[in-house]
Chains A and B, each alone.
Chain A
Amino acid sequence: MQELKARALELLKNGTVQRVLGWRIGENTYDPEPAFFDSEEAMKDFVYNNFCAANLSKYMIEACKLEGKTLVCLKPCDSYSFNQLLSEHRIDREKAYIIGVGCKGKLSIEKVSQAGVKGILSVTDTDPLQVTTLYGDTTVAYKDAMLSRCHVCKGKDHVVYDELIGESEDTVDADRFAEVAAIEAMSPEEKFAFFQAELSKCIRCNACRNVCPACSCRKCVFDSNKFDSTQKANVDSFEEKMFHIIRAFHVAGRCTDCGECSRVCPQGIPLHLFNRKFIKDINNLYGEYQAGADVEAKGPLTSFTTEDAEPSVVSQGGIR
């Protein structure tokens, strides 16, 4: 962290960059938040610890409109989102100075609670986590406190960067598509019941949309009065399905599976499942594809090749 902070400060001071996009220390170790730093003074609050899970790539859309370069700290998985935005011309590579930061899997305070720890007062980001609670001290194994997305990590390599600081570690210990496969195995009634139960929890806070790097439209269709989807009152408790399904379609083929939607959902809805189902189907029908891996790649849903599966094949469940 100190090396990263020192380097960021150096680049800020020598004028290479006008500002730094990183994380600001929160009240506790576990709640750092994304922030811009434009002076040495501001940089005092800069932090990078194992709780810095937020994907900063989307903030670059606004940063690119500003004068001068912005230093942005990207974890390996964030670099995919950055590339995807680059391929959609939403950000300008020339205006970014990317420090690829090391990642050992990011921690989540919710996971600590889910591990059975109550009354948390403070927590470290070490392995194992040292937790001080109202009821005394305890420890939680690092892996048990890790975000679900890190168990199916895309890899420890950055796909785009100017320089690298810090080591990354392999954290994969689960099958990326196991959750999707489990839902696919359900009967239609079970599937409906599952999604109804999950999506009915939605309070339409829009956190998933606002954090999503693929949901970067200048004007979201849900906010535009050009469409009849604006500010629509719920007529049943499952009305929000439309919002989430439309959102999943809008990001299909562009979603890098960064997992921010599920991370920020205050209701704990596993929103990434929709996107991951699309990714699984795309892989099956059009060959392995990772959005953001290659800026020049034509997305599988936005290109046509003679090897593409025919619609009739898709409807049969996608036998190539």
Chain B
Amino acid sequence: MQRIGVFVCHCGSNIAATVDVHKVVELARLEPGVVHAEDYQYMCSEAGQAKIGAAIKEHQLTGLVVCSCSPRMHEATFRKCAQKYGLNPYMVEIANIREHCSWIHKDMQEATEKAVILARAAIAKVNLNTPLQAGESRVTKRALVIGGGIAGIQTALDIADAGYEVDIVEKTPSIGGRMSQLDKTFPTLDCSACILTPKMVDAAGHEKIKIYTYSEVEKVSGFVGDFTVDIRKKARSVDADKCTGCGVCQEKCPSKKTLSEFNRGLGTRSAIYTPFAQAIPNVPVIDRDACIKFKTGKCGVCEKVCQAGAINYAQQDEIITEKYGAIVVATGFDTIKLDKYDEYAYSQSKDVITSLELERVMNAAGPTKGHLERLSDGKAPKEIVFIQCVGSRCSDDRGKPYCSKICCMYTAKHAMLIRDKYPDVNVTVFYIDVRTPGKNFDEFYRRAVEEYGVNYIKGQVGKVAPQPDGSLLVQGVDLLDNKQIKMKADMVVLATAIEPNQGVRNIATMLTASIDTNNFLTEAHPKLRPVESPTAGVFLSGVCQGPKDIPETVSQAGAAAVKVIGLLAKDKLTTNPCTAKADELLCNGCSNCAKVCPYGAITYETCLVNDHGIREERRIAKVNNALCQGCGACTVTCPSGAMDLQGFSNKQLLAEVDAICR
């Protein structure tokens, strides 16, 4: 029989104002196994912990129940306290009578009743607790950053500057990401490339950073401190060690009709290509789907013109297996597809473009060399309409329910830049709200309206109709004037909603990191742990976690780096002893637990089993404690109940349920 002490915390008035703590003490005393119960104003304080210590000694306690705040808050505190006074830390259970009780109830009688029930459940569990021993695991002092955009680059630079090795895995042929496609950045209007490329160069030249471009993460196993990752280095068909980056191959390549991904399909590129001039590494790749040599076997021009002899058609994909202590996801975003928004005529007219396409049009290295022109006929537009919130803040299932956050600002930027460079062009912006929280953001937007004469209309556009004369008829509504608007435009720019990059689901699955309904990665705590994933050792950087602009992304990237550095600075991690264990007499050997285990922690062995005198060879599940994270998926899958989770056994959980239902 356990000797249990129950400690009820007032949490100042947080608990005591709604829960009759004395009543909880009084009733807890009557529970089986309880030999001592008391209350105190702040159990987590030093004085409170001393009281627990004294009670452990005086009453020879074997188990503790602390009725206080969420275990996420102070479970660790009370476990340490128990250990200090000679108890196994896993003999402590927390009854959460604050978040689960006092904070959500108004009526004292009801709240007290619930607090007693929660205490009773915890007591029932402690009665079945057994001491557990935590193990230790090592930390591989190397980090992996998935994604080589500004978020990934900044995280990698910060980690590397602290002295740890970092690998960046980027799926496209160059690092740089979305930011490399932008022309100018708000609110200072500095050139995106001018501030990004030095960082790209820094990352490439850093002795602690290794960059795998044109590569993808293929498999992740292991756990915090000890991940093993398979990286597929796709065949570039160019030997990176030999290539000098002279660019002759791209000039001479006869296959030049492939749409350029970098220019959002507005221009073309050759089959052998670097996405843009400042690409890092400056080593081209051969797009095997477009290459004549790969399609027909005849051509080989690039091989002939390459002075360095770097072209290698026989190159194969390579799998690199590397160990990491921490993984940062920085997979970024893309704009949504517009096939559900046909009213804006995006698919019908070349003069309806997305804002990201406009970035390329405005960029001196873009398809129009930075000259603002209609993509249909190359004429200079006189009337441009911007439509905000295309697919953002959408209440139906065509778009996204969230605000994409960056569109108000970049639309103001585009409007201002156009008015500045082409003062004869009229610019109209249709908006729902203009959201400009951020340093110097509202000032920036007001400048667009007040100094640059951009015409802002509060209202939605219902239809964009291409006209026979090549113009676009925009039909919208002005909500402030309460009137219908019909206007002709030469170009329409859609502030298209952003969404997490494709493939993030796949990466999240490999990492067992959770994602929300919009495919954004979930943070461990929305306020207090915003750059950590709930999966230990996995961190979040940039838009993969939620829409954000460049300054925010860079600060979050730094924050993620700090968390990684904090982890890598440790030599050993304490492992969770609450792992699964198979009862060999009940195990069927059916493999269902191994199939559901997200950590690959379960293997099968053929063992000689003595089942009440029957000796036979059986296929039995074995759990690797270092890999098991205690998620419990196996325990609910096991049809015979052979799998059980230490510290959360079926018996313990049912005892809690029974105590609650009593």
- The residues of A with any CB-CB pair to B shorter than 8 Å are 65, 87-90, 216-221, 224, 226-228, 250-251, 254, 298-299, 301-306, 310, 312
Determine the distance from Cα of A224 to Cα of B651 in the docked complex, in whole angstroms.
Answer: 13
Determine the distance from Cα of A302 to Cα of B590 in the docked complex, in whole angstroms.
Answer: 12
Q: Is the CB of A310 within 8 A of B517?
A: yes
Q: Which stretch, B62-70, B118-126, B634-642, touches the partner chain A?
A: B634-642
Selected from A87, A88, A221, A306, the residue in CB contact (under 8 A) with B641 is A221
Determine the distance from Cα of A79 to Cα of B186 in the docked complex, in whole angstroms.
Answer: 67
Q: A90-B589, A217-B586 are in contact. List 14 more A-B contacts (CB 8 A).
A: A88-B588, A88-B589, A88-B592, A89-B589, A89-B619, A218-B588, A224-B586, A224-B641, A227-B641, A228-B654, A250-B639, A302-B637, A304-B596, A312-B517
Chain B residues, Cβ within 8 Å of A251: 639
Chain A residues, Cβ within 8 Å of B639: 217, 221, 250-251, 254
CB of B547 within 8 Å of the partner chain: no
> Closest residue to B616 on the A side, CB-wise?
A65
Distance between A6 CB and nearest chain B CB, rounded to angstroms: 35
Chain B residues, Cβ within 8 Å of A301: 637
Determine the distance from Cα of A65 to Cα of B609 in the docked complex, in whole angstroms.
Answer: 14
Distance between A63 CB and nearest chain B CB, rounded to angstroms: 15
Determine the distance from Cα of A87 to Cα of B650 in the docked complex, in whole angstroms.
Answer: 27
Counting chain B CB atoms within 10 Å of each CB, the highest count among A87, A88, A306 belongs to A306
> Closest residue to B641 on the A side, CB-wise?
A221
CB of B598 within 8 Å of the partner chain: yes
Chosen A-B contacts, 20 in total, with CB atoms closer than 8 Å, are A87-B591, A88-B589, A89-B590, A89-B604, A90-B589, A90-B590, A216-B588, A217-B588, A218-B586, A218-B587, A218-B611, A218-B640, A221-B640, A221-B641, A226-B586, A227-B651, A251-B639, A254-B639, A298-B595, A312-B517
Determine the distance from Cα of A88 to Cα of B506 in the docked complex, in whole angstroms.
Answer: 28
Q: Is the CB of A304 within 8 A of B509?
A: yes
> Closest residue to B595 on the A side, CB-wise?
A302
Bin the interface of chain B by size: 20 to 34
Of residues 501 through 557 on chain B, the ones whose CB sits less than 8 Å from some CB of chain A are 505-506, 509, 517
Determine the distance from Cα of A221 to Cα of B640 in the docked complex, in whole angstroms.
Answer: 6
Chain B residues, Cβ within 8 Å of A299: 592, 595
Determine the distance from Cα of A224 to Cα of B595 in the docked complex, in whole angstroms.
Answer: 25
Q: Is the CB of A304 within 8 A of B517?
A: no
Chain A residues, Cβ within 8 Å of B596: 302-304
> Closest residue to B586 on the A side, CB-wise?
A219
Chain A residues, Cβ within 8 Å of B261: none
Q: A88-B591, A310-B517 are in contact. Are A220 and B509 (CB under 8 A)?
A: no
Counting chain B CB atoms within 10 Å of each CB, the highest count among A217, A250, A301, A310 belongs to A217
Chain A residues, Cβ within 8 Å of B443: none
Of residues 603 through 662 on chain B, the ones whose CB sits less than 8 Å from some CB of chain A are 604, 611, 616, 619, 637, 639-641, 650-651, 654
CB of B585 within 8 Å of the partner chain: yes
Determine the distance from Cα of A90 to Cα of B590 in the docked complex, in whole angstroms.
Answer: 7
Selected from A219, A228, A305, A310, the residue in CB contact (under 8 A) with B640 is A219
Distance between A303 CB and nearest chain B CB, rounded to angstroms: 6
Chain B residues, Cβ within 8 Å of A227: 641, 650-651
Determine the distance from Cα of A226 to Cα of B583 in the docked complex, in whole angstroms.
Answer: 10
Determine the distance from Cα of A240 to Cα of B448 in the docked complex, in whole angstroms.
Answer: 73
- The residues of B with any CB-CB pair to A shorter than 8 Å are 505-506, 509, 517, 583, 585-592, 595-596, 598, 604, 611, 616, 619, 637, 639-641, 650-651, 654
> Closest residue to A312 on the B side, CB-wise?
B517
Determine the distance from Cα of A305 to Cα of B598 in the docked complex, in whole angstroms.
Answer: 11
Chain A residues, Cβ within 8 Å of B592: 88, 299, 302
Determine the distance from Cα of A89 to Cα of B619 in the docked complex, in whole angstroms.
Answer: 8
Determine the distance from Cα of A220 to Cα of B641 in the docked complex, in whole angstroms.
Answer: 9
Determine the distance from Cα of A87 to Cα of B619 in the docked complex, in whole angstroms.
Answer: 13
> Closest residue to A307 on the B side, CB-wise?
B505
Counting chain A CB atoms within 10 Å of each CB, the highest count among B589, B590, B604, B651 belongs to B590
Distance between A238 CB and nearest chain B CB, rounded to angstroms: 18
> Closest residue to A216 on the B side, CB-wise?
B588
Distance between A296 CB and nearest chain B CB, rounded to angstroms: 12
> Closest residue to A253 on the B side, CB-wise?
B592
Q: Is the CB of A303 within 8 A of B595?
A: yes
Determine the distance from Cα of A228 to Cα of B598 in the docked complex, in whole angstroms.
Answer: 29
Determine the distance from Cα of A89 to Cα of B587 in the docked complex, in whole angstroms.
Answer: 12
Q: Is the CB of A89 within 8 A of B598?
A: no
Chain B residues, Cβ within 8 Å of A250: 639
Chain B residues, Cβ within 8 Å of A254: 639
Determine the distance from Cα of A221 to Cα of B642 in the docked complex, in whole angstroms.
Answer: 9
Chain A residues, Cβ within 8 Å of B588: 88, 90, 216-218
Chain B residues, Cβ within 8 Å of A305: 509
Determine the distance from Cα of A155 to Cα of B638 in the docked complex, in whole angstroms.
Answer: 30
Distance between B608 CB and nearest chain A CB, rounded to angstroms: 14
Distance between B648 CB and nearest chain A CB, rounded to angstroms: 16
Determine the distance from Cα of A216 to Cα of B641 in the docked complex, in whole angstroms.
Answer: 13
Determine the distance from Cα of A305 to Cα of B509 in the docked complex, in whole angstroms.
Answer: 8
Chain A residues, Cβ within 8 Å of B517: 310, 312
Determine the distance from Cα of A298 to Cα of B587 in the docked complex, in whole angstroms.
Answer: 19
Selected from A65, A218, A224, A304, the residue in CB contact (under 8 A) with B598 is A304
Distance between A301 CB and nearest chain B CB, rounded to angstroms: 8
Determine the distance from Cα of A88 to Cα of B589 in the docked complex, in whole angstroms.
Answer: 7
Determine the distance from Cα of A226 to Cα of B581 in the docked complex, in whole angstroms.
Answer: 14
Distance between A310 CB and nearest chain B CB, rounded to angstroms: 7
Chain A residues, Cβ within 8 Å of B637: 301-302
Nearest 8 interchain pairs by C-beta: A88-B590, A217-B640, A302-B595, A306-B505, A250-B639, A221-B641, A302-B596, A302-B592
Q: Is the CB of B641 within 8 A of A226?
A: yes
Determine the distance from Cα of A263 to Cα of B654 in the docked complex, in whole angstroms.
Answer: 34
Chain A residues, Cβ within 8 Å of B604: 89
Determine the distance from Cα of A252 to Cα of B589 in the docked complex, in whole angstroms.
Answer: 18
Chain A residues, Cβ within 8 Å of B505: 306
Determine the distance from Cα of A306 to Cα of B505 in the docked complex, in whole angstroms.
Answer: 6
Determine the distance from Cα of A302 to Cα of B639 in the docked complex, in whole angstroms.
Answer: 12
> Closest residue to B654 on the A side, CB-wise?
A228
Determine the distance from Cα of A304 to Cα of B509 in the docked complex, in whole angstroms.
Answer: 8
Counting chain A CB atoms within 10 Å of each CB, the highest count among B506, B585, B598, B640 belongs to B640
Chain B residues, Cβ within 8 Å of A217: 586, 588, 639-640
Determine the distance from Cα of A298 to Cα of B594 in the docked complex, in whole angstroms.
Answer: 11
Determine the distance from Cα of A217 to Cα of B611 in the docked complex, in whole angstroms.
Answer: 14
Distance between B575 CB and nearest chain A CB, rounded to angstroms: 24
Chain B residues, Cβ within 8 Å of A306: 505-506, 509
> Closest residue to B637 on the A side, CB-wise?
A302
Determine the distance from Cα of A216 to Cα of B592 in the docked complex, in whole angstroms.
Answer: 14
Selected from A65, A88, A219, A221, the residue in CB contact (under 8 A) with B585 is A219
Chain B residues, Cβ within 8 Å of A88: 588-592
> Closest residue to B503 on the A side, CB-wise?
A306
Selected from B589, B640, B650, the residue in CB contact (under 8 A) with A220 is B640
> Closest residue to A220 on the B side, CB-wise?
B640
> Closest residue to A313 on the B side, CB-wise?
B517
Determine the distance from Cα of A115 to Cα of B504 in the docked complex, in whole angstroms.
Answer: 60
Determine the distance from Cα of A304 to Cα of B565 in the docked complex, in whole angstroms.
Answer: 32
Chain B residues, Cβ within 8 Å of A226: 583, 586, 641, 651
> Closest residue to B658 on the A side, CB-wise?
A228
Distance between A43 CB and nearest chain B CB, rounded to angstroms: 29
Chain A residues, Cβ within 8 Å of B591: 87-89
Chain B residues, Cβ within 8 Å of A219: 585-586, 640
Distance between A87 CB and nearest chain B CB, rounded to angstroms: 8
> Closest residue to B583 on the A side, CB-wise?
A226
Determine the distance from Cα of A216 to Cα of B590 in the docked complex, in whole angstroms.
Answer: 10
Distance between A230 CB and nearest chain B CB, rounded to angstroms: 12
Determine the distance from Cα of A301 to Cα of B587 in the docked complex, in whole angstroms.
Answer: 19
Distance between A263 CB and nearest chain B CB, rounded to angstroms: 22
> Closest residue to B636 on the A side, CB-wise?
A249
Chain A residues, Cβ within 8 Å of B650: 227
Determine the distance from Cα of A21 to Cα of B210 in the docked complex, in whole angstroms.
Answer: 63
Determine the distance from Cα of A278 to Cα of B650 in the docked complex, in whole angstroms.
Answer: 24
Chain A residues, Cβ within 8 Å of B506: 306
